[in-house]
A and B are shown apart, each in its own frame.
Chain A
Amino acid sequence: MRRMNYFEVFCLDRKLGIDAQALQSRFYELSRRWHPDFQQGRTPEAQAEALERSALVNAAYRALRDPIARVEYLVRLAEGRDTKGGAVVKPKAPPELLEEIFELLETLAEARAGGLDDDRRAELAVERDRLVKRLAAEEDRLKGSLATAWDSATPADRPRVLAALKDALAVRAYLRTVIDDLTNALEGQESDAAHHRH
């Protein structure tokens, strides 16, 4: 038997615009039907099937309730990767983004090597704020215009929109990594400074 994909679990088309309220109600309905709590006293086979269905419902809800996770799932599904695998590979930088923040990465490397004066710190803090805004914009684009583009795309257009979604996800993943690194560098620095004052 082929495994149902997450959209099918909720009887939804493979689209990104999903009504959150309706999704939640449907999730509760399916949970009442399949949750192991309501399977006591049934045959072991029926219980095993319900357990699997219940796990599937939970996974589907988790993947679809969040608009960004939804895009990630859509891409995985389109690429035929249905086992998730351990996401241990750090995201690679999209080339144009890498160019844009090349200098920033150098400063960051210096900070790591130990030694950041106040000017550089201020500079990094400004950069971080800028990247946080940029991240928010990228996420808005994923949830907004790109999602709409996917939902209205003709079958012929889909590969192009899918590629755009993938790029946006890669940019987002990379931005998040850089922002985390910056935060660590700045906070590590701050706590050091606090230490010196005492």
Chain B
Amino acid sequence: MPRIIGIDLGTTNSLVAYVDEKIGLPRVIPDERGRVLLPSVVSFTPEGILVGEDARRQLVRRADATVYSVKRLMGRSYDDVKDELKYLPFTIVPGDGIVRIQAGGREVTPPEVSAVVLRALKDRAERAFDEPIEKAVVTVPAYFNDSQRQATRDAGRIAGLDVVRIVNEPTAASLAYGLDRLEHGIVAVYDLGGGTFDISILRVQEGIFEVLATNGDTHLGGDDFDRVLMLWLLEDVQARHHRELEGCGINLARDNDAMQELRLAAEAAKIRLSTEERTGLTLPFGEFTYRREITRADIERLIEPLVQKTLGPCRMALKDAGLGPDGIDEVVLVGGSTRVPLVRRRVQELFRKPPHSHLNPEEVVALGAAVQAGILAGGIRDMLLLDVTPLSLGIETLGGIVGVLIARNTTIPTSARELFTTSADGQTVVDMHVVQGERELAKDCRSLARFELRGIDPMPAGMPKIEVTFLIDADGLLQVTAKELRTGKAASIVVKPTYGLTEADVERMIEDSFTYAEADVETRLTIEARNEADTVITHVRRALAQAAHLTDAAERARIETALAELLRARGGDDRDLIIEKTTEVNRATERLAEAMMDAALRGAIESRRADEIMESS
């Protein structure tokens, strides 16, 4: 059995993991520099496509070419996301059903962007094992609908990965905990990530992980915390510095670079406020510098409504599982946003017991995906996950009313059969409209696809009996088959997905991705070297400006010569030369750096400000 990797394709960060067969435990795979988290950011630069940390560094520099949080766009239409467009620095245009993204002069779909992230993780795993990797288990939010799951699988195919299983994030996390300590009982998994929220309630017994109910919101997460804080900061900057802003005619809200800086500063402040009671913020704008202090109470007031929004789905899930809050034995926290103290408090109040998160909430989903990969590969035989479909599946009937075929929280795989017939004499085609959701009217539900049953023999109206089977497989994906009952002949079905790529789209994207893959590795390495050089140049210039008193003329001259050579090298494409000159600058500044470190230790308070300036630049 070839190796199967487990991938957590997150809104903010992605990870890859595998099961170490010697010890039977899942492990995350770091990159060459030991970093585990790969930022889910892709930058379409003129030099090539960047991904991860390299792309993250382009967020401010090339805001309109750098795509982040693309998971929120997967399997979605323009109407779904238009409300948040004004906060995105890249351009989104309506496509055929799904949205398309314009970035760096290209037009791409969300699965293509996700594919770049998946390919980077695939490469990482291939380097770690020194063998080709073709199969993966990929996680999705439990509350993802069919279109969003399909988009995730398409992303895998474009990246050259056969997604052998799509597994729900909270249940994946429960598998990781299961190996670790859970033996039996009822467990609630509260999973608040960068862009999505899920709650799943499971019964764990005899190695079976049976999901009783799941609920969630695929548009709620840490990104939203950042956004409310960012908007609050924006107002504050505008209020305090309106004179400077007006003076130079700047409209901050329309300045992509400035907004991106504000967003990153908001995110950094949010993270610090999870461990500290207050934090300072320093943001240099061209004409002025914005400084302020934010307290934990400030941010809690801002995000409280968002945290409250997670509690409704929790109550629904409890109700669907037929349980009260006291029926839960353990509460497990998953996702980076559960590091926020307010989230922990509200979860504890709702379930009336302290939640635990002793496995790293950012890694646990990938570890669980690896466990599921181990189950599929046959290495793990004693565990089995029985998941559910999060949304009811139905067909549109007369008057636009939904006829439910498969209720939400039904264990998958599951199937339902329905008889169809014709309404006119000689009719040879029957249409069906399949939707997902809990509302009574089809127009309020999620349209999945329109199916055409073709090749029906001409007969009087009502005579044909076509049995259609709707099957939701273990990935939570819908498969539809049909047969004419009198003849037993399989009817042909033409599927028109409402919000998905067609088979031809996916094929074309697979081909395109091969054509730029080779060139991308070379350019990526050069750009990495150039980025590294940029960082060094910025730091050294700042050091020379701030620490002039710590150096003498001779040292200064040596540093400036090295710096000038690096700048020249940086302008060219010779990667080795850029790296060599970067090293030389580092060597020339070694003594100065030490002297500055000593000075910094003496004035620790000031240094923190400097750090913040660096972080946001």
Contacts and interface: CB of A to CB of B under 8 A. Distances in A.
Interface stretch (B407-415, B507-515, B538-546): B407-415
Contact of A52 (B165, B210, B415): B415
Interface in A10-59: 28, 31-32, 35-38, 40-41, 51-52, 54-56, 58-59
A194 interface: no
B164 interface: yes
B394 A86 contact: yes
B474 interface: yes
A84 to B, nearest CB: 6
Interface in B168-190: none
Contacts of B596: none
A193 interface: no
A51 to B, nearest CB: 6
B264 interface: no
Interface string B371-399: 01001111001001110000000110100
B206 A40 contact: no
Contacts of B403: 85-88
Nearest to B386: A31
A86 B397 contact: yes
Contacts of A54: 413, 474
A25 to B, nearest CB: 8
Which of A37, A54, A59 has most B Cβ within 10 Å?
A: A37
A41 B2 CA distance: 11
A130 interface: no
A34 B172 CA distance: 20
A55 B414 contact: yes
A35 B474 contact: yes
Nearest to A32: B384
B412 A83 contact: no
Contacts of A85: 403, 418-419
A38 B474 CA distance: 12
Contacts of A56: 415
B411 A37 contact: no
A52 B413 CA distance: 8
A62 B210 CA distance: 12
Nearest to A59: B414
A61 interface: yes
Contact of B411 (A32, A41, A58): A58
A40 B474 contact: no
A83 B406 CA distance: 12
Interface residues of A, number: 25
B490 interface: no
Contacts of B1: 40-41
Interface in A49-92: 51-52, 54-56, 58-59, 61-62, 82-88
B422 to A, nearest CB: 17
A51 B210 CA distance: 18
Interface in A79-108: 82-88
Nearest to A85: B418
Contacts of A28: 205-206, 208, 210
B410 A58 contact: yes
Contact of B412 (A41, A58, A84): A58
B404 to A, nearest CB: 6
Contacts of B208: 28, 31-32
B415 to A, nearest CB: 4
Contacts of B474: 35-37, 54
Interface residues of B, number: 38
A86 B395 contact: yes
A82 B395 CA distance: 18
Contacts of A52: 415
Contacts of A37: 165, 372, 375-376, 384-385, 474
A83 B397 contact: no
A34 to B, nearest CB: 9
Contacts of B381: 38
A61 B411 contact: yes
Contacts of A59: 410, 414-415
Given A36-B413, A54-B413, A86 B404 contact: yes
B471 A41 contact: no
A86 B413 CA distance: 19
Contact of B413 (A51, A62, A82): A51
Interface in B265-316: none
B402 interface: yes
A87 B412 CA distance: 21
B384 A35 contact: yes
Contacts of A88: 397, 401-403
B416 interface: yes
A120 to B, nearest CB: 27
A55 B415 contact: yes
Given A40-B378, A58-B410, A86-B397, A51 B473 contact: yes
B606 to A, nearest CB: 50
A29 to B, nearest CB: 10
A97 to B, nearest CB: 24
A61 B203 CA distance: 15
A91 to B, nearest CB: 15
Nearest to B135: A40
Contact of B417 (A31, A61, A83): A83
B413 A58 contact: yes
A58 B471 contact: no
A35 B165 CA distance: 13
Interface string B464-505: 000100010110000000000000000000000000000000
Contact of B418 (A35, A38, A83): A83
A84 B405 CA distance: 7
B411 A36 contact: no
A41 B395 CA distance: 34
Given A59-B414, A61-B411, A40 B164 contact: yes
A164 B377 CA distance: 51
A85 B403 CA distance: 7
A35 B386 contact: yes
B473 A36 contact: yes
A191 to B, nearest CB: 16
Contacts of A38: 381, 384
A51 B418 contact: no
B415 A86 contact: no
Nearest to B412: A58
B1 to A, nearest CB: 6
20 contacts: A32-B208, A32-B384, A36-B474, A37-B375, A40-B164, A40-B377, A41-B378, A51-B471, A55-B415, A58-B386, A58-B410, A62-B414, A83-B419, A84-B405, A85-B419, A86-B404, A86-B418, A87-B403, A88-B401, A88-B403
User: Which 3 pairs across A and B sit closest by C-beta, in order of nearness?
Assistant: A86-B403, A58-B411, A55-B415
Interface of B: 1, 164-165, 205-206, 208, 210, 372, 375-378, 381, 384-386, 394-395, 397, 401-405, 410-419, 467, 471, 473-474
Interface of A: 28, 31-32, 35-38, 40-41, 51-52, 54-56, 58-59, 61-62, 82-88
Given A32-B208, A36-B413, 20 more contacts: A31-B384, A35-B386, A37-B384, A37-B385, A40-B164, A40-B377, A51-B413, A51-B473, A52-B415, A55-B413, A55-B414, A58-B414, A59-B415, A61-B411, A62-B411, A83-B418, A83-B467, A84-B417, A86-B404, A88-B397
